[in-house]
Amino acid sequence: MTDFLKRTWATIDLDAIRDNYHAILGMLTPGCRAMAIVKADAYGHGAGYVSRALRDAGADWFGVSNLDEALQIRRAGITQPILILGYTPAREARRLAEYGITQTVCNGEYGEELSRVAAAAGVEVRIHIKIDTGMSRIGFLCQREKELPQAVAEVSAICRLPSLVPEGIFTHFASADEEEGETFTRLQFSLFQAVVAALEEKGIHFALRHCCNSAATLLYPEMHLDLVRPGLILYGLFPSSWLAGKLPLHPAMELKTVVSMVKDIPAGSVVSYGRTYTASKETTLATVPIGYADGYPRSFSNRAYMLVNGRRASITGRVCMDQCMLDVSGIPGVREGMVVTVFGRDGGETLPVEEFASLCGTINYESICLIGKRVPRVFLSGGHTVGQLNYIVPEEETR
């Protein structure tokens, strides 16, 4: 297997992802299945490798954001059903049918257009109906009881259109991950159940009803229904800090870089752009080849840490596009080529991605999704490298 460029890279533990999937399955109510959410390149982890690992662990449904993502994992070898959770232009009906991809329908006009295009192409498209019970994003509006009759009428009309095969119905919770979110989550679930019940009275039945994201999967077993849609927890992370420990999960991603140069600077030396840091004493600096173009935010300048030899080393001066500097004074044995942990484990010390995220006022979801595409993903299983994904030089991908 071709070695990867040891500049900056992310390691992805496929065993952890499989273990997390099995842990999720173990807490589901009888008869419920899990749709593995692998949108956004499997939350930055590498959709092809991750999807295959989940397939091998038994995953029989996958969720993505758009058609390109669906085709990406189809071409990676996924033959199981895939649901596109977002918008696909109706003109793509033939490709949806050709690749066996299920499409979300979120309003009447779109459903009618998809039906017309599919019929003209002589194909059938499987669909899931999206109900907006409180996100105000996409879906048939039903955030209040008075909106129920119209939502039911519109969905009923869509389900009777030619060339569409309604197989599922779902909603999405807006605040299931919040400590004060239970009341609103239960309201959303009640509205969703009311829509489903009213449709059943009209003779419209769905094989798959689903509403639980990662947080709701952990908190509300009575809402599991036919499918749950775990995303972040597949990757070993929790949607909120107060949910940590609800399930034994293992973070799958670690971000690594290396020391490219070590130098001593005298007191009074300034460091990096803008001279925002001045050494108060003789200081040992280690330069590392990671910067904001790799997804390491400029806002970490003079604020964040990395792990060097199992010890925290502070960012010194401004983070550049491709590099930044660490104060490694007092850390023994620092040398060129030494591995540095941006987040993850180093010896007995851990720098969690949640700390990484909190420094720039965001969430762990965003931090892992924004790891740059020039950062290769290196996949591990059984403690050994089993593949790599190089977005810049794609021919370096191996399986």
Mean pLDDT of 164-193: 98
pLDDT of residue 395: 67
Range of the domain at 161: 14-234
Q: Which helix (H) or strand (E) holds 170?
A: strand 164-170
DSSP conformation letters of 11-30: EEEHHHHHHHHHHHHTTSPT
Q: Does a structural domain hold residue 27? A: yes
Query: What gap in Å lies between CA 188 and CA 160, rounded to an integer?
Result: 26
Same domain for 269 and 157: no
Q: pLDDT (tens digit, 9 = 90+) per residue, 201-247?
A: 999 999 999 999 999 999 999 999 999 999 999 999 999 999 999 99
For 300, what's the count of Cα atoms within 13 Å in the CB-facing half-sphere? 26
Same domain for 170 and 78: yes
Instruction: Select which of 110, 202, 273, 305 is catalytic.
Output: 273
Tell me the residue length of the chain: 399
Is 263 an annotated catalytic residue? no
Kindly tell me if the per-residue pLDDT of 1 is higher than 50: no
Q: Does a structural domain hold residue 1? A: no
Same domain for 156 and 261: no
Kindly tell me if the per-residue pLDDT of 396 is higher than 80: no
Confirm if 73 and 82 have CB atoms less than 8 A apart: yes
pLDDT of residue 153: 98
Q: Does a structural domain hold residue 5? A: no
Same domain for 312 and 172: no
pLDDT range class, residue 360, cuts 50, 70, 90: confident
Q: Does a structural domain hold residue 300? A: yes
Report pTM. Answer: 0.95
Instruction: Select which of 6, 21, 39, 99 is catalytic.
Output: 39
Cα 3 to its chain centre, rounded Å, is 27
The domain boundary, picked from 234, 266, 286, lies at: 234
Same domain for 278 and 189: no
Q: pLDDT (tens digit, 9 = 90+) per residue, 86-120?
A: 999 999 999 999 999 999 999 999 999 999 999 99
Same domain for 268 and 345: yes
pLDDT of residue 394: 81
Same domain for 224 and 118: yes
Identify the CA nearest to 170 among candidates 94, 112, 228.
228
Q: Which helix (H) or strand (E) holds 254?
A: strand 253-258
pLDDT of residue 5: 76
Identify the CA nearest to 104 among candidates 85, 79, 80.
85
pLDDT of residue 6: 86
pLDDT range class, residue 287, cuts 50, 70, 90: very high
Kindly tell me if the per-residue pLDDT of 271 is higher than 70: yes
Same domain for 152 and 111: yes
Quote the percentage of the chain above a pLDDT of 70.
98
Same domain for 271 and 228: no
Is 273 an annotated catalytic residue? yes
Kindly tell me if the per-residue pLDDT of 81 is higher than 60: yes
| Number of domains comprising the chain | 2
Question: CATH number, domain at 74?
Answer: 3.20.20.10
Mean pLDDT of 268-282: 97
The domain boundary, picked from 173, 201, 234, lies at: 234
**Interhelix angle 182-201/148-159, nearest 10 degrees:** 50
Q: Does a structural domain hold residue 146? A: yes
